[in-house]
Structure 1
Amino acid sequence: MTAAVELAAFVGAATVDSALSRAAESGRFAEGDLPAIVAHHTATAAETGLVVADESHSAQPGTAAWAGFGSTSAEASS
């Protein structure tokens, strides 16, 4: 926790609080993990146009095209 308090003096308490939440979710509490998480999130937060992959941004219209994948011609026609 001392390292988290010291890091908060540089990047802000909200940033460290968010990084601690991420660390807890992923079980990452080794030495250097918290600064690495903060560095990653501060570097990627500045990127514009960042799209999070979810169903509204999917390139796949559905799975119906894969329905016959792996079946033989005889199985597909029955």
Structure 2
Amino acid sequence: MRSKKVLICTFLVIASLIMIGRDYYLSKEDRPPNFSIQADTYKDGGTKVYLGLGYKVMDYNQLGGRKDVVFIPLYLDMFEIK
């Protein structure tokens, strides 16, 4: 019984690391993430905010500005000055 729990926990950790790594790679290629949920859309031209397990991805689409994708870990987002 204990080995099943260890196996399931190991699988979940590995699967989450793969999902985070894939979304990070896609953000570096300026593409929207696969394993995140769209949380918000700003009215600045269509900037979208995606939330994942411990991270946030901003897909900028401003009318006169940014057109990139940024990966933000939540531990950095906690210290954002508002």
- TM class by smaller structure: under 0.3
Q: Which has the larger radius of gyration?
A: 1
Normalised by the length of structure 2, the TM-score is 0.22
Specify which structure has the higher proportion of helix: 1
Normalised by the length of structure 1, the TM-score is 0.23
RCO greater where, 1 or 2, for CA within 8 Å and sep 6 or more? Answer: 2
